[in-house]
Structures are given as C-alpha cells and as structure tokens.
Structure 1
Amino acid sequence: PADSPTPYERYVLSESYEFRESTLRYDAATDEFYLNISTRRTNGDDEVSEDTGHSDQTVLGIDLGVNSLAVSSTGTFWQGDDYDHWCREFEKRRGEMQQRGTQAAHKALLRLGKREEAWRKQYIHTIANELVSEAVEHDCDVIAFEDLSDIRERLPHAKWHHVWAFRRLFEYVSYKAPEQGVSVEQ
C-alpha cells in the first residue's frame, strides 16, 4: 500500500533488520509461489538487540506427518516407512485371521491386537525419547508441536490420521521432556 511501507521495505531493506535466509515454496493447490524471508532485528551496530518482555528461549519445532512421522526444526527426520510397513503387516494378518472365522483364529486375533498395541506404544515411545534427546542435545528450552486440532474434520477422507497416534506422541513427549528441563507446547 502507498500509505505504509511493505514488509519487504520494512524488514529486508531496513538497516534495523539483518537478512538471515530465504526459502522458495510452491503451493500446488493454488499454483502459486511464496518466498519466505527470515530477518533478525539489530540495534544498528550489527548486533542483535535485546528482546524486551520475553525471556530468551530456544525452541525445537516439531512438524508431524505421515511420510515423515516427525520432522524437527534442526532438520532431523523420523521416517514413517517402517511404521507404515508394520501397520500394513498387522492389518494383513488381522484380515487373514478374520476370514478363517474359527475360535482359535479369534483368540489369535485378540493376541495379535495386544501385540500390535504394545508394538505401537513402544515405537512411539522410541520416537518420543529421540525427540527429547534432540531438544537436550541442541539446548532447547521448549518443544513446540504442530497444532493438529480438528485434523479429522479438516481431512475427513484421509485414512492415515486414524492409524498414526499424533496425540499419543505429544503426550509421551509431554511427560518425558520436563524430566530433562524442557517444556512442551502445541
């Protein structure tokens, strides 16, 4: 707008801000490109100014997904290939047992369900431990998870969000992280 400086003028061209990095992102849904620019406020002498009102905290951001179960802001990926493989294997085994229809198959199906649940819990515990270790390794004060509130309503036809336990991962990290002096937010 003519009556106010644009964000580009305010932050990139200003001597009060130091250019840090940029990323170019393509949004296939809208067929548009976005240029995200990161800047840091300086006090004019090329030194970072003091933040007023907030204590300095280092945050480890966690993005949750399907192909990569979790991605941290440090660039560490926790891939979903192994998790997806075993989910499909358990599903296949359940289907085979259900088709038999015998009492022995029913009992085996109950045992398989308990084994699958234990395997899922252990897998998510392992990722939770690694996320907390990542935060401690990088001296982070806070682990910030992507907010997936109402994900089922926003993506009603996506099958994956019924299988992957985003909330459980958040809960596991929430009780493990304070033991290491790290808080957890969504």
Structure 2
Amino acid sequence: MKLVVRVKLLPSQEQAADLDATLDACNRAAERVAAVAFETGVKDRNGLQKLVYADIKTTFGLSAQPAVRVVKKVTDAYASLKAQAKAGLLGKSSSQRYRRAMNSAVSFRAGAAQPFDDRCLSWQFDARTVSIWTVAGRMRNLPYTGSADQLKTLEAYRKGESDLVRRRGAWYLIATCDIPDPETYEPADFLGVDRGIVNLATTSDGTNYQGRRLGRYRRWHAHKRAELQAKGTRSAKRRLARRSGKEQAHATHVNHKISKEIVSVAQRTGRGIAVEELDGIRERVRLRRDQRSTLSSWAFHQLGQHLEYKARRAGVPFLVVDAAYTSQRCPRCGHTERANRPTRDHFSCRRCGLAGPADVVAGVNVRNRARSAWAFVNRPVPAPV
C-alpha cells in the first residue's frame, strides 16, 4: 500500500530564496517543454527528452537529473489529461471545457510541485535533515520536522520520488512510502456505513456523525468569500488568498476523524467495513440551483478513500456494495418503495411496519449486502466428481 508523508522544511531566509528560485526555474522549464510537446505532438518521454534536454539545461540552469524530472513531469501531465478525457471527466468532446483543455498546452503554476529522485535529494533521518539540489548548488543540512508517526513511517518505508512544494509561504517535502499490507482477518460480521450530507456518516450500529457543524462552517466561508469578492479591493484579494484552502483542510480533518473512529470500532469488534458505491452521483442527480453548491462540496469520495486506506492499514476487510435503493428497502421484509421513506430522516415500511432513522436503515442494508457478497465470494468450492 502506498501512502504519502508530508514533512515541513525549516529553511533560513537564504535557503528559502534558493528553493524559490529552484521551483520557479523548474516550472518555467516545464512550461517550455509542455509548449514543445503540444506544438510537435511528441509526448513520449524519450522522444520529448531528445527535443528539449539540451535547451532547458542551458536556458534555465538545470542539472542533468532535474532536467530529466521536468520532462517526466510534463509527460505525466499529458498522460493524466488524456486519461481524464477518456474517462469523460472533461465533459463531452463538444463542450467548451473539453476543447479548452485539449486545444492548448498544459500549463504549470510558478509554485507547482517539483519531483526529486534519490539523485537530487537524500535524507539524513538521524539528523532530520535533507540534502537537495538547487539552481544555486547542492543545499545540505536542510532541517525538516513532522509528527512522530510520520517520521517513523518515513524512515521505515520511504521509496521513490519526493515532491518539493510551497504552500502559503511554507515549504514541504511530500514523500511516497510503500507500506506492506497486513494480512486481512476473517470478519465476524460487517459494519455498514451510509454516507450523506446532513449526516456525514451513519453506521449500522446506529452511530451518527452529523454534518451540521461542517455545513455551518462551509456556509460561513461562502458568505465571507462573497463579501470579499464583492469588495474587489487589493486588501480583499489578499484576504481571499489567505483563506483559500482552509475550508477544504477542515473538511479533510473531519473525514480523518470519522474514518479513524469507524475503523477502530470495526477492528476492535472483529468486523469488516462496507460502504455504498457513490461514484458518479453528481452526474446522476438533478438538483435545484440552491442545492448545487452543497452537493459539489460534499467530500463523500474522500471519506470513502480514508476509510479504505485506514482499513487496509489495519487489516480490516473493506467492501463496496451497490447503493441502489438502500434508503428505500426494508431490511426485515425486503419491501422496496419510495413511500417507505416519507421524510429525509424517517423510514417506515409500508408492508411490515418497521420504522426507524432512515440513515441507520440504509447502513443496515449496506451491511446485509456486504454479508451476502462476502459469503458469495468466499463460498466453498465443490469437490470434483
């Protein structure tokens, strides 16, 4: 299992200036390489490297290996763009977004992340320092810091490239760690998890993680953004820049807390975790204009990702089941009807009379489907006749 660990660099003012110049040079070089790739149509790594290698080394002051990394970054960006277009993530081929993306060269922000491999970056774990290539020469004894768990994971499992990135004036290294998967145990049962907007997550045990506070936080940020955008002054724009990303970071923190608690409960009780398949829900659901921002900011996919990787890391079985009618199906008699859910919060079966919180009932249905799926996949193979 691959995880990323982010550690914070602690450069002096002179070191920060050299890192800034390095990131700027690498991204200006990437802009040049991306333009050449778009104009010539050459987007494979070896072919593109032959066209631009000598030029970007001379023009932007890059050493051999950083120049190679810049070319690789550009080819990866074009490969990602092609994959997004093929998967329909850019819309239809006739849409303005699709044409704008496919009919222009890939661009890179001045502060976009730059990958460094082991030839450009080395780690001294005992001293908690790194040695990194810059346009001003090799920068040695650059200190870094992080949480105890992050540092332990980094030292034990770091493998591959690390990305240098600047965010809000601070410098970070994002390292890839390859952690071996623990053996998954045989679950005694499953813990069904229903994800939603009003209630971020509800388990089949009846535990409810409400989204009211997060919703109020989002609405407050939206109100403040609207106020600052309406002013349009230089000061307002600076404040908007400082506030950017805070809402997303808070939602990520909430999802981490919820997923950690759910995985802990499942591990302690010897159960697996089951969630419903929600991919593509934004395309399937038609909403009023005043509901669109709420759905677009719903971080259900991230919560599912957190649950999956935390479960894998703990050896907890994890299943994704069909979400169809989980909120309308009676878990006791199986009767499925839209009228079974007269309100958003309440479930009442029209056939057998089973009633209760709608999200808990959905979580129970998710659990039941996981039970069936696990039993089917792990059914004994009949002996040959």
TM-score, normalising length: structure 2: 0.33
Counterpart check, 1:154 vs 2:281: no
Q: How do 1:3-82 and structure 2 match up within 5 A? A: 57-82=188-213
Which stretch of structure 1 is more off in the superposition, 92-101 or 105-114? 105-114
The residue aligned with 1:11 is: none
Q: Matches of 1:125 and 1:56 in 2, distance apart?
A: 23
Q: Matches of 1:117 and 1:151 in 2, distance apart?
A: 20
For the structure 1 residues 138 and 116, does the alpha-carbon distance in structure 2 shift closer, same or farther, using more than 3 Å as the test?
Answer: same
Q: Is the 8 A contact 1:174 1:183 kept in 2?
A: no
Q: Is the 8 A contact 1:144 1:185 kept in 2?
A: yes
Could you tell me how far 1:161 is from its partner in structure 2?
A: 2.1
> Over residues 47-80 of structure 1, what are the superposed CA-to-partner deviations in whole Å (9 max), with x where a residue is unaligned?
xxxxxxxx66411111111111111111110011
> Over residues 73-109 of structure 1, what are the superposed CA-to-partner deviations in whole Å (9 max), with x where a residue is unaligned?
1111001111111011111111111111012211211
Q: Matches of 2:248 and 2:280 in 1, distance apart?
A: 24
For the structure 1 residues 94 and 131, does the alpha-carbon distance in structure 2 shift closer, same or farther, using more than 3 Å as the test?
Answer: same
> Over residues 120-143 of structure 1, what are the superposed CA-to-partner deviations in whole Å (9 max), with x where a residue is unaligned?
211111111122122123321x21
> Over residues 118-176 of structure 1, what are the superposed CA-to-partner deviations in whole Å (9 max), with x where a residue is unaligned?
21211111111122122123321x21111113211221215232111111001111111
The residue aligned with 2:245 is: 114
Equivalent residue letter for 1:85: R
Q: Is the 8 A contact 2:279 2:301 kept in 1?
A: no
Structure 1 residues without counterparts, runs of 5 or longer: 1-54
Which of residues 264, 267, 289 is equivalent to 1:133? Answer: 264
Equivalent residue letter for 2:295: H
Q: Matches of 1:146 and 1:78 in 2, distance apart?
A: 16
Q: Matches of 1:149 and 1:108 in 2, distance apart?
A: 35
Counterpart check, 1:103 vs 2:237: no
Q: Matches of 1:109 and 1:56 in 2, distance apart?
A: 48
Q: Matches of 2:284 and 2:188 in 1, distance apart?
A: 32
RMSD of aligned C-alpha atoms?
Answer: 1.6
Q: Which has the larger radius of gyration?
A: 2
Counterpart check, 1:175 vs 2:306: no
For the structure 1 residues 85 and 116, does the alpha-carbon distance in structure 2 shift closer, same or farther, using more than 3 Å as the test?
Answer: same
Q: Is the 8 A contact 1:62 1:70 kept in 2?
A: yes
Q: Count the aligned residue pairs.
A: 131
Q: Matches of 1:57 and 1:110 in 2, distance apart?
A: 49
The residue aligned with 2:275 is: 145
What percent of counterpart residues are identical? 34
Q: Secondary structure at the match of 1:145?
A: strand
The residue aligned with 1:12 is: none
Q: Matches of 1:170 and 1:163 in 2, distance apart?
A: 15
Structure 2 residues without counterparts, runs of 5 or longer: 1-185, 321-385
TM-score, normalising length: structure 1: 0.65
- 4+ runs of 1 displaced by more than 6 Å? none
Q: Is the 8 A contact 2:191 2:204 kept in 1?
A: yes
Q: Matches of 1:166 and 1:125 in 2, distance apart?
A: 12
The residue aligned with 1:44 is: none
